[in-house]
Amino acid sequence: MSDLHYPQMRLELIEYINALSDISYQNRVWVGGILEGPVVHDEFDYAIHFLYDDTSLASDPFSMIGEVLRNSMEAEKISTLIKAIDLVFDKYGTKLSDAEYLKKPEWNAVVLAAQDASNAFLEH
């Protein structure tokens, strides 16, 4: 990962993608509060802050190539994930609990997009 400006941020991104791709994890950790490994706390909001506030991944994932993303394919996968999250936010707002988001029918698209992104990151 020495080809990236922020390899540690990439590792953090991969952790968030993996969490978004795993509905069992979300229910256990985000909703149930059952902690795993060195994790002291995790919630959907952490992934959102990383994607939307701490980086340009939500607004312009292609600008993150060479920073935390390796190529345009990864940027496309992140863009698809962001669109799925945005659809949930557009329909339900940003004030629901993690448990409420997970119950929405549109949440499945978020999980699937995150799984697709996770697989793409594993390949490279």
CB count within 10 Å of CB 123 equals: 8
Per the DSSP assignment, residues forming a β-bridge with 99 are none
pLDDT of residue 122: 83
Summarised one tens digit per residue, pLDDT across range 23-43 is: 999 999 999 999 877 767 899
Instruction: Determine the residue type at 120.
Output: A
Summarised one tens digit per residue, pLDDT across range 53-74 is: 999 999 999 999 999 999 999 9
Query: Do residues 83 and 120 touch, judged by C-beta distance below 8 A?
Result: no
- The pTM (predicted TM-score) of the whole model is 0.93
Confidence of residue 80 (pLDDT cuts 50, 70, 90): very high
Please report the sign of the dihedral spanned by the C-alpha atoms of residue 118, residue 94, residue 99, residue 46: positive
E strands in 1-124? none
Query: Do residues 121 and 14 touch, judged by C-beta distance below 8 A?
Result: yes
Instruction: Check residue 56 and report its DSSP letter.
Output: S
Confidence of residue 83 (pLDDT cuts 50, 70, 90): very high
